[in-house]
Amino acid sequence: MKFVAIAHPNIAFIKYWGNRDDKLRLPANGSISMNLGALATRTSVTFDPQLDEDVFILNGIQQTGDSLVRVSRFLDIVRELANSPLFAKIESINDFPTGAGIASSASAFAALAMAASSALGFDLDEGALSRLARRGSGSACRSIPSGYTEWQIGASDLDSYAITLADPDHWALTDCIAVIHSGEKEAGSSEGHRIAATSPIQAARVADAPRRLDDCRQAILTKDFERLAPVIEQDSNLLHAVMMTSNPALHYWRGGTVEVMNAVRTWRKQGIPCAFTIDAGPNVHVICPTADATRLESRLREIPGVESVLVSGVGGGAALLSD
């Protein structure tokens, strides 16, 4: 039987970077994000006794190599839980550019965790689903619960999962994503997590994370944009400082990335509430109160180097569509 699930990507306000345990994806620090309701991954899973290997079709193209191996290794975890020998056909569609710093692995593994576990007969609660999604991609655990979510660092596999901090309608924020380059990125996040500790800045970034998490959590709970803006920009800058100083160094920014960062700082000085945050890619997420999104979107489109602008408000959690 075919099981279909949908999940949204998320944008981290306080970033996950580096693991205490790479295999289990137990993070070096907790993280906070907002689900992006306008963007989605839709995934169907069918376990089939006729198949002698997993078949993974992404955006209509049958996958081989690393992308298939990563999905198969994840399904092995679910198969082991269910004590099932069956292989599956997985079809997944993203309605946004894959692999461009708009975390497609988050929505991908959140939707896959939900569809695959249901297809093998599990009815997992939110915490268990978030833990399972985490094993596929760390940030995916934050796409299981709804709205603004926090991945609690946890002491072990059992308590490292994400919870809702606030529902989507708690605070109307919008992410205007300035797409600088929509192709595949050069270095994936998993490699970045593995080398994070080679940067001398990582230890300081991790040690200070509880303060940033607290500041960000309070800013969300009290809907205080003036408090949110500096902490999310500082957290993004710390992440990129670590990336640029790890061995090998990771440089994701392009010229357009810096143009947008400078523009956001200028607009904020002029009194427009907005703040930037950048993941493992060149695109810039400009976070703002929804009331300011339309004028920011048109200003972003005028900046040389900006290919396009995607706009999203706060989204719900992962959901099963049908069976």
Residues near ligand DP6 (CB under 6 A) are: 12, 15-17, 25, 31, 103, 105, 137-139, 189-190, 193, 279-280
Q: Which is nearer to ligand DP6, 15 or 79 (CB)?
A: 15
CA 74 to chain centroid, in Å, comes to: 17
- Which residue's structure tokens are 């069956």? 86
Strand 41-48, strand 148-151: pairing: unpaired
Shortest Å distance, C-beta 1 to ligand DP6? 28
Nearest Cα to Cα of residue 158 among 24, 32, 28, 31: 24
Shortest Å distance, C-beta 272 to ligand DP6? 25
Q: Which is nearer to ligand DP6, 137 or 164 (CB)?
A: 137
Shortest Å distance, C-beta 291 to ligand DP6? 26
Do the Cβ atoms of 105 and 25 come closer than 8 Å?
no
Q: Which is nearer to ligand DP6, 41 or 189 (CB)?
A: 189
Shortest Å distance, C-beta 269 to ligand DP6? 27
Shortest Å distance, C-beta 223 to ligand DP6? 22
Q: Which is nearer to ligand DP6, 120 or 243 (CB)?
A: 243
Contacting residues for 83 by C-beta, under 8 A, at least 6 apart:
none
SS3 annotation, 148-187: EEEECCCCCHHHCCEEEEECHHHCCEEEEEEECCCCCCCC
Shortest Å distance, C-beta 138 to ligand DP6? 3
3-state secondary structure of 271: coil
Distance separating alpha carbons of residues 47 and 49, to the nearest angstrom: 7
Element (H, E) at 60: none
Shortest Å distance, C-beta 30 to ligand DP6? 10
Tokens standing for 149? Answer: 């979510």
Q: Which is nearer to ligand DP6, 91 or 279 (CB)?
A: 279
Q: Which is nearer to ligand DP6, 190 or 245 (CB)?
A: 190
Q: Which is nearer to ligand DP6, 36 or 264 (CB)?
A: 36
CA 7 to chain centroid, in Å, comes to: 11
Distance separating alpha carbons of residues 314 and 168, to the nearest angstrom: 5
Do the Cβ atoms of 300 and 264 come closer than 8 Å?
no
